[in-house]
Amino acid sequence: MAGNTHKAIQVTRAGVLELVEQETQVPGEGEVLIQVQACGICGADAGAIEGLEAGLQFPRVPGHEVVGRIIALGVGTSKIWRVGQRVGVGRLGGHCNVCEQCRQGNFNLCSDQPVVGSTQDGGYAQMMITRATGLVAIPDALGLVEAAPLLCAGIATFNALRKSGAQAGDLVAIQGIGGLGHLALQYARRMGFKVVAIGRGDDIAEDALQLGAHHYIDTQVEDAVVRLKKMGGAQVILTTITDSAAVSPLMSGLAPQGRLVVVGVGREPLSIMPGTLVGGERSVQGSITGTPYESEKTLDFSVMADVRALIETMPLEQAWEAYQRVRSGSVRFRMVLTMDDDSVAH
């Protein structure tokens, strides 16, 4: 494979994406080489593209919603993987199996795990090398473009709801009806919750109801906390937004022993009065995507319950334009880069 090359989009310096030809590497021990066929663009890609992440090294290929086929296996790769198999890779690039968290089975909390698109090259490319421990098997019933957003936005919201403690019939509110929230509404409805969507503006109301919400709260015209309290309080509020100032007040909309589950990573601290926590035994919980096994559960559930992201696609060569559309909020609701039919080393 030496001497073969492939196309990639890399960050050459903060705020600059460049189309380049890269040499296609041979996978090392415990690694695989994937022929990438689609890669979602996530808001979190901005950390690498805008140079916002501490310790980031350029050049870097971004992208962590990667799907394709295995075309080469490194030495020592598990026999569950085979050449030609459809696989994906999410934000977490494969656990080490030896750190303390791995020994406890908390593979998504591995302390020696690459972050795809940040500490290792990601999927804005025709080829990608990754640890086999980070691979996710893609069901035959799911298209590769369909699968891409589920490896980040899907697993993040699905797993958060699974771990939230909510039971069928409970009132669950989803804050933010965007790339994550539009999937969270679908999962929450199909899990049997009474679903409330919380958004800003009436332009999203119809979408929210069609996606699974029983009720929509427009924060531009009514107080979400007052409305939630009238409904008895939410057992769970899942917030998908990064505006901490808009998240913090919602704590008061929780029922006693309710839980605020955070998947949107803001850059400002949450501001929560201790009395709100203590008085009603309320809690705040973070949720970070999931293990490859949990990602496969997400994909299986999505097929079974007919949950799909609403997707727009653009070719790899137009990655900058696609990224700008994501950043502007004009995408409805996820953007996926696709590789041309010649997406093989040449």
Q: What does the pLDDT look like over 252-281, one tens digit per residue?
A: 999 999 999 999 988 899 999 999 999 999
What's the mean pLDDT in 142-148? 97
Q: What value does the mean pLDDT of the chain take?
A: 95
Q: What percent of the chain has pLDDT over 70?
A: 97
Examine the pLDDT at 151 and tell me if it is beyond 50.
yes
Helix ranges (DSSP H) in 168-307? 181-190, 205-211, 224-230, 244-247, 274-280, 292-305
Distance CA 234, CA 260 (A): 9
Q: What is the pLDDT of residue 343?
A: 39
Identify the band that residue 296 occupies on the pLDDT scale cut at 50, 70 and 90: very high
Q: What is the pLDDT of residue 267?
A: 85
What's the mean pLDDT in 201-216? 96
Cα four-point dihedral sign 14, 20, 23, 29: positive
Examine the pLDDT at 344 and tell me if it is beyond 50.
no
Residue with tokens 């030495």: 75
Element (H, E) at 144: helix 144-147
Burial (CB < 10 A; 0-12, 13-18, 19+), residue 205, is middle
Distance CA 309, CA 330 (A): 15
Q: What is the pLDDT of residue 3?
A: 58
Q: Counting every residue, how long is the chain?
A: 346
C-alpha 189 chain-centroid distance: 19
Examine the pLDDT at 287 and tell me if it is beyond 80.
yes
Report which DSSP code applies to 92: B
Examine the pLDDT at 346 and tell me if it is beyond 60.
no
Distance CA 153, CA 163 (A): 16
Examine the pLDDT at 192 and tell me if it is beyond 60.
yes
Burial (CB < 10 A; 0-12, 13-18, 19+), residue 110, is buried
Q: What is the pLDDT of residue 55?
A: 87
Query: What domains are defined for the chain?
Result: 5-152+290-338 (3.90.180.10), 156-286 (3.40.50.720)
Examine the pLDDT at 226 and tell me if it is beyond 90.
yes
Cα four-point dihedral sign 155, 156, 157, 161: positive
